[in-house]
Amino acid sequence: MELLAYSFMQRALLAGLLISIACSVLGVFLILRRDAMLGHGLAEVAFGGIAVGLFLNVLPLASAVVIAILGALGMLKLKEKAGIHGDTAIGIMASCGMALGILVVSLAGSFNVNLFGYVFGNVLAIRPSEVWLAAFLAAVVVGVVLLFYQEFFFMTFDEEAARVSGIRVDLLNAVLAVLSAVTVVLAMKVVGILLVAAMIIIPAAAGLQIARSFRQAIWSSALISMFTVTAGLVAAALWDLPPAGTIVVLSTFVFLVCLVVRRSALLRW
């Protein structure tokens, strides 16, 4: 409890919890839609946005959000117009975004220290404005999911049937892609570009192991994500560990525990 006396720890914990909710809720949909690697692809696209923002001397998160959203919509268009699989579209846009970032970094060559924080995460240095942004994001993600829950549920398990039934599948796919892009950019402050996909995938995968319904999967995923972020930050502060790596390793451990619990339950039956 003494850790909470520090304002930077309060901001890190609050932002981490808010972002973890957004990541875990979206993660359940992405995994079941077989788009689990979307987070990884958008993280690489956002890397290009961060580099461009630092090069132009504008707010890096703002430029990363814009480029990540364009990348997410570009992936949808590639998948739709070129007739390629989703993983191929993700690979193309991710490679392009990473290449853009590398080119800009090599041209500038002067902001490697600032870029380091985005690559590996720096949640303990999160600013009050970013906490408010995280709160707004979590509210938007939860609000949109609640508003279009039935449509997202239908699309997740049978997109073609949803399209035939009159659901605006293309529009809702774009909404989901935009939400994922913004979530990925903000999650970079917690675990960095290299590990942001883990924050979306692992808690959701753990929740799916132990849940008996779709709603339970969302709740379980959110609770697991909040627990791992809280425990990871506390462990990192107590034992001087990197917060990003600690959170992801703890998430993986919880996933393995959930997997063992599920397999044990199946064996008993």
Among candidates 186, 206, 185, 213, which has minimal Cα distance to 248?
A: 206
H-state helical runs in 213-242? 214-239
The residue among 153 and 269 whose pLDDT is bigger is 153
Tell me, yes or no, whether 142 lies in a domain.
yes
Q: What are 140's two structure tokens? A: 């938007």
Q: What is the mean pLDDT of residues 236-257?
A: 90
In this structure, is the dihedral angle defined by the CA atoms of residues 226, 232, 237 and 238, taken in order, positive or negative? positive
This prediction's pTM: 0.88
Cβ neighbour number for residue 179 with a 10 Å cutoff: 21
Among candidates 73, 80, 71, 25, which has minimal Cα distance to 47?
A: 71
Distance (Å, whole) CA 3 – CA 11: 12
What confidence tens digit (pLDDT) does each residue in 182-239 have?
888 888 877 888 788 888 999 999 999 999 888 899 999 999 999 999 999 889 888 8
- Are 178 and 140 in contact by the 8 Å Cβ rule? The answer is no
Distance (Å, whole) CA 179 – CA 177: 5
Among candidates 213, 182, 187, which has minimal Cα distance to 202?
A: 187
Overall domain count for the chain: 1
Radius of gyration of the chain (CA): 18
The residue among 143 and 8 whose pLDDT is bigger is 143
Domain encompassing residue 205 = 2-264
Distance (Å, whole) CA 7 – CA 127: 10
Distance (Å, whole) CA 213 – CA 129: 36
H-state helical runs in the chain? 7-32, 38-56, 60-81, 86-108, 112-120, 128-147, 149-157, 159-164, 169-191, 196-210, 214-239, 243-268
What confidence tens digit (pLDDT) does each residue in 62-116 have?
888 889 999 889 888 887 776 677 778 888 888 888 888 888 877 766 555 567 7
Tell me, yes or no, whether 269 lies in a domain.
no
Tell me, yes or no, whether 173 lies in a domain.
yes
| Lowest-pLDDT choice from 5-19, 32-46, 80-94 | 80-94
Rounded to whole angstroms, what are the CA distances from 131 to 10, 98, 137, 170, 200? Answer: 10, 27, 10, 31, 19
- For residue 101, give the CATH number of its domain: 1.10.3470.10
Distance (Å, whole) CA 110 – CA 120: 18
DSSP conformational letter for 5: G
Tell me, yes or no, whether 160 lies in a domain.
yes
- Phi and psi, residue 129, nearest 5°: -65, -35
Local confidence band at 158 (pLDDT 50, 70, 90 cut-offs): confident
